[in-house]
């Protein structure tokens, strides 16, 4: 991201806040998280979030900011893949929520979006255990999900059973292997949100600079808005300071007995951006 892009995105923020954000996002370990921000900053940060958008197909940048209960802010941006089917796309709302989740946040209290959320994202947001109270900010309006998605499909998730706050599953490799990426992939899979397939999965990307990016399955009761672990990992890389650094290795962890299989899609997705072969670790419940 160029200096002028950052400057344009930070127009409107006071100079001290803008300077702190510029320092954070240009630091080598930036991961898409902004801490100690004034609560009023979220809406003003949407242009910055949108600057992380990758949109080779639509040419349309969308930004989102998730405000976690901790007070931390999480960037989100739409992520498209040239040469891939349209359904491989991650939307900005999903990107921000998943970013908060991958930083181990347990609750998002507000979501700011630069465009009106599409139906797919409204359904995805149903997986939050606080889906009835999370404030969805679009321009000057604050909506509840029931206003945006009346007569919703699927049950409301209860507290402790939603996308961000569900209980981890204990998993282990069928054939133990001390390889770091394999263990990272298992660790990620343990915190999957897979109440519908009951098939947790984890994915780890290692970039050439040694940075690791993990992803885990985030399911939707309507299935199609679900986000597979490989896409979650690619989102974390895209929101980081390593977004343009090549992928060196890719590792997937899947349940040996899973009835669904994340690998064909993961392999197609990774092949669009890297020559790395996916190493697979098969897991079982501990």
CB of residue 138 to Zn ion, shortest distance in Å:
12
CB of residue 92 to Zn ion, shortest distance in Å:
7
CB of residue 44 to Zn ion, shortest distance in Å:
22
Residue 174 binding Zn ion, by CB under 5 A? no
Of 13 and 110, nearer to Zn ion (C-beta) is: 110
Residue 48 binding Zn ion, by CB under 5 A? no
Residue 208 binding Zn ion, by CB under 5 A? no
Of 121 and 205, nearer to Zn ion (C-beta) is: 121
Q: Which of 18, 63, 74, 91 binds Zn ion (CB under 5 A)?
A: 91
- C-alpha distances (whole Å) from 275 to each of 71, 224, 247, 271 are 39, 27, 8, 6
Residue 254 binding Zn ion, by CB under 5 A? no
- Nearest one of 35, 84, 97 to 232, comparing CA atoms: 97
- Nearest one of 23, 22, 29 to 210, comparing CA atoms: 29
Q: What is the largest CA-CA distance in the chain?
A: 54
Q: What distance in Å separates the CA atoms of residue 99 and residue 82, rounded to the nearest whole number? A: 22
**Secondary structure (DSSP) of 90-103:** B-HHHHHHHHHHHT
Q: What distance in Å separates the CA atoms of residue 94 and residue 106, rounded to the nearest whole number? A: 15
Is 105 considered catalytic here?
no
Residue 233 binding Zn ion, by CB under 5 A? no
Residue 191 binding Zn ion, by CB under 5 A? no
Residues 88 and 231: beta-carbon distance below 8 Å: yes
According to CB under 5 A, which residues from 113 to 142 bind Zn ion?
A: 118, 120-121
Of 31 and 78, nearer to Zn ion (C-beta) is: 78
Q: What distance in Å separates the CA atoms of residue 156 and residue 158, rounded to the nearest whole number? A: 6
Among 80, 93, 105, 115, the one annotated catalytic:
93
What are the catalytic residues?
93
Residues making contact with Zn ion (CB under 5 A):
91, 118, 120-121
């Amino acid at each position: 991201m160029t200096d002028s892009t950052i400057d344009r995105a930070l127009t409107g923020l006071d100079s001290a806040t803008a300077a702190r954000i510029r320092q954070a996002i240009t630091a080598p370990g930036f991961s898409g998280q902004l801490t100690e921000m004034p609560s009023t900053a979220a809406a003003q940060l949407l242009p910055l979030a949108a600057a992380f958008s990758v949109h080779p197909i639509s040419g349309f940048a969308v930004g989102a900011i998730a405000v976690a209960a901790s007070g931390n802010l999480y960037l989100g941006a739409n992520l498209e893949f040239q040469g891939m089917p349209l359904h491989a796309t991650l939307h900005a709302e999903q990107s921000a929520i998943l970013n908060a989740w991958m930083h181990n946040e347990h609750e998002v209290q507000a979501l700011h979006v630069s465009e009106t959320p599409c139906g797919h994202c409204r359904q995805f947001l149903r997986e939050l255990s606080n889906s009835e109270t999370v404030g969805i900010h679009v321009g000057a309006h604050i909506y509840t999900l029931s206003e945006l998605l009346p007569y919703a499909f699927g049950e409301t998730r209860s507290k402790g059973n939603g996308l961000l706050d569900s209980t981890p599953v204990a998993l282990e490799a069928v054939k133990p292997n001390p390889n770091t990426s394999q263990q990272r992939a298992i660790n990620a899979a343990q915190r999957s949100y897979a109440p519908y397939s009951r098939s947790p999965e984890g994915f780890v990307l290692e970039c050439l600079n040694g940075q690791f990016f993990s992803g885990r399955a985030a399911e939707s009761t309507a299935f199609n808005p679900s986000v597979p672990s490989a896409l979650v990992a690619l989102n974390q890389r895209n929101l980081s300071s390593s977004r343009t650094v090549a992928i060196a290795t890719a590792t997937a962890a899947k349940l040996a007995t899973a009835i669904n299989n994340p690998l064909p899609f993961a392999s197609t997705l990774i092949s669009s951006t890297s020559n790395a072969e996916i190493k697979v670790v098969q897991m079982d419940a501990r």
